[in-house]
Amino acid sequence: MRTLVPFEAARPKTRLDPFLDDDERAAFARSMLRDVIGAVERAGHDPEVVATAPLELSSASVSVPVAVDDRPLSAAVNARLDGVDANDPVAVLVSDLGLVTPAAVCRLVDAEGADADADAGVAIAPGRGGGTNGLVVSHPEFRVDFHGTSYRDHRRTARAVGASVRVVDSMRLSTDVDEPEDLVEVLLHGEGAAAAWLRSAGVGLGGGDGGRVEVTRSGEG
Amino acid sequence: MRTLVPFEAARPKTRLDPFLDDDERAAFARSMLRDVIGAVERAGHDPEVVATAPLELSSASVSVPVAVDDRPLSAAVNARLDGVDANDPVAVLVSDLGLVTPAAVCRLVDAEGADADADAGVAIAPGRGGGTNGLVVSHPEFRVDFHGTSYRDHRRTARAVGASVRVVDSMRLSTDVDEPEDLVEVLLHGEGAAAAWLRSAGVGLGGGDGGRVEVTRSGEG
């Protein structure tokens, strides 16, 4: 399945400042993007990066199409949903999923195709805090809007156009990485480039007695 | 399947102070406990509350066994794991899962039974921040320790006793409700008594433009 991966190429992950500096945030964001691309490919689907600016992915293993689109990411994604229907669905996966696995991608894609008799609709993988981290769109009139509490907005949109909704219950897909506390999840559960990048940068886990565990940083990596 | 639900009866959910006062936290914690009990029952399993102190569950719909055990909760749970094996597994589910559904309980229980030829082992549903929110134990030597970064500790324990490990990828099971920000998830995705209790107390959602949505409180409920 064609799988769009929108990517904010300029100034990504600003809420990780000052835990990571500008260059580090850019490198870490790209490592998560590589994990998402790799998981989509290994799940047997076709990733297509939609970036706000030209993008170099410095890894020999990455040779996916990158479309540069200077519109806001929602508009750039929507322009690529023209013509979707139940026979030709399109998936969308955000790029900052440091816990993503091929199995998690399959659960999203399979959710929409689970019932062959279902009306055209949308499968949604919610993100923490009201966001939307994954979609499979098979209804021709459904359009995305990632701004604000997009999970509720996407459900509303689906109702408005008569699209069925399936919600995918996945911790891995719900964990988009925005805040330092999200790095804990990458270190504990990540299996790819993002977790490796953090470890190479000296980011580790501390605390854990009583309260939740915290990220720490040692050395210069 | 016998499903233990450990419950801290005295001073529950202290990290929701001052967002909720003492009595409110006690009421809210009990509403989540009712959701967990109800989800286990509707999934076709047998909940058994293990409480640190005598407990009244003021709902006509709740008539589950409540064992009072004044040991720390991990010890109280472990005392009830004597005799588990692959033919007689026991599940453990924490009581503060405001997003729990019967389907989520089934995914945990089915994970351990997914492969009939598997060695005796343990299925783990991780919680945010390194915790453990659900377990199915079928290995006779595995014991729990919910203190600290229990997800890693439980994996280590499994390795040490030779128990296979399956990890359940569920947002609903990963979201134990400890901090005010966790209430956002209950309001967005909860389908039971906990979400209803919050709404009746005037707890709602605000913000959402740009950053993550926040909980707000209006009136006295």
Contacting residues of B for A149, CB less than 8 Å apart: 188, 205, 208, 213
Separation between Cα atoms, residue A213 and residue A207, nearest integer Å? 5
pLDDT at position B12: 82
DSSP conformation letters of B125-179: EEPGGG-EEEEEE-STT-----SSSHHHHHHHHHHHHT-EEEE---HHHH----S
Instruction: Give the type of residue at A117.
Output: D
The span from the CA of B119 to the CA of A162, in Å, is 47
A188 touches chain B (CB under 8 A): yes
Share of chain A above pLDDT 90, in %: 79
Q: What are phi and psi of B121, to 5 degrees?
A: -160, -145
> Can you say how many angstroms the Cα of residue A38 is from the centroid of all Cα atoms in its chain?
12
Name B75's Cβ contacts closer than 8 Å, sequence gap at least 6: none
Instruction: Tell me the torsion sign for CA atoms A83, A88, A93, A95.
Output: negative
**How far apart (Å, rounded) are the C-alpha atoms in residues B181 and B176?**
11
Rg (CA), chain B: 17
pLDDT for A221 equals: 43
Among the ranges given (A209-213, B1-5, B154-158), the one the predictor scored with the smallest mean pLDDT: A209-213
What is the 8-class DSSP label of residue B114? S
Measured distance CA(A136)–CA(A121) in Å, rounded: 8
Residues of A in contact with B131 (CB under 8 A): 212
Q: Calculate the average pLDDT of chain B.
A: 91
Q: Which of B96, B212, B214, B216 to mutate to test the interface with A (most CBs of A within 10 A)?
A: B212
What pLDDT is stored for residue A46 in this prediction? 97
By Cβ distance, the residue of B104, B126, B184 closest to A169 is B104
Asked whether the CA dihedral B170, B176, B182, B185 is positive or negative, the reply is positive
Assess contact for B126 and A171: CB atoms under 8 A.
yes
Cα separation, A80 vs A53, in Å, equals: 17
User: Which of B62 and A46 is assigned the larger pLDDT?
Assistant: A46
d(CA A18, CA A215): 13
- Helix H segments across chain A? 22-42, 73-79, 102-112, 150-161, 171-174, 180-189, 193-200
pLDDT by residue (tens digit) across A94-120? 999 999 999 999 999 998 765 555 668
The whole-angstrom separation of Cα A125 and Cα B16 is 27
- Categorize the per-residue pLDDT at A209 as very low, low, confident or very high, splitting at 50, 70 and 90: low
pLDDT of residue B114: 58
Of B148, B152, B210, the CB nearest to A209: B148
Picking from B145, B174, B183, B205 by the largest number of A CB atoms within 10 A of its own CB, the best residue to mutate is B174
Q: Which are the contacts of B163, defined by CB distance < 8 A and separation ≥ 6? A: B119, B120, B121, B122, B139, B141, B142, B157
Q: H or E segment at B76?
A: helix B73-78
Show residues of chain B in contact with A182, CB under 8 Å: none
Judged by DSSP in three states, A14 sits in helix
Phi, psi for B75 (deg, rounded to 5): -65, -40
CA atoms within a 13 Å half-sphere pointing along the CA-CB vector of A217: 13
Average pLDDT of span A183-196: 97
Interface contact B132, partner A, CB < 8 A: no
pLDDT confidence of A213, banded at 50, 70, 90? confident
Sort out which chain A residues have CB atoms less than 8 A from B178's CB and list them: 212
The mean predicted confidence, pLDDT, of chain A is 91
pLDDT of B59 above 80:
no
Task: Compute how many other C-beta atoms are within 10 angstroms of the C-beta atom of residue B198.
Answer: 24
The alpha carbon of residue A161 is apart from the nearest alpha carbon of chain B, in Å, by 21
| pLDDT at B220 > cutoff 60 | no
Nearest to A122 by CA among A95, A147, A156, A96: A156
| Other CB atoms within 10 A of residue A158 CB | 20
Tell me the average pLDDT across B45-56: 93
pLDDT of residue B35: 97
Contact map slice: A 135-174 vs B, CB within 8 A: 147-149, 151-152, 169-174
**Which of A147, A148, A212 faces B129 most closely, judged by CB atoms?**
A212
Domain extents in chain A = 2-175
Range among A10-19, A40-49, B7-16 with highest mean pLDDT value: A40-49
Q: Do A210 and B131 touch (CB under 8 A)?
A: no
The alpha-carbon gap from A186 to the nearest alpha carbon of chain B, in Å, equals 10
How distant, in Å, are the alpha carbons of A48, A88, A89, A122, A218 from that of A110? Answer: 19, 14, 12, 11, 41
A207: closest CA of chain B, how far (Å): 8
pLDDT band at B118 (very low <50, low <70, confident <90, very high): low
Q: How confident is the model over B72-101, as a mean pLDDT?
A: 96
A114: distance to nearest CA of chain B, Å? 15
Would the pLDDT of A61 be above 60? no
Cα dihedral across residues A102, A108, A113, A114: positive or negative: positive
8 Å CB contact of B129 and A103: no
Distance CA B127, CA B195 (A): 19
**Which CATH number fits the domain B2-174, given the four candidates 3.90.1150.10, 1.10.3720.10, 3.90.550.10, 3.50.50.100?**
3.90.550.10
Nearest one of B133, B137, B46 to B91, comparing CA atoms: B137
| CATH superfamily membership of A2-175 | Spore Coat Polysaccharide Biosynthesis Protein SpsA; Chain A (3.90.550.10)
Contact (CB, 8 A) for A146 and A178: no
What residues in A contact B101, CB-CB < 8 Å?
169
Percent of chain A with pLDDT over 70: 91
Q: Which residues of B touch A178 (CB under 8 A)?
A: 212
The three-state DSSP-derived secondary structure of A130-190 is HCEEEEEECCCCCCCCCCCCHHHHHHHHHHHHCCEEEECCCHHHHCCCCCHHHHHHHHHHC
Q: How far apart, in whole angstroms, are the C-alpha atoms of residue A78 and residue B118? A: 45
pTM: 0.94
Q: How confident is the model at residue A62 (pLDDT cuts 50, 70, 90)?
A: low
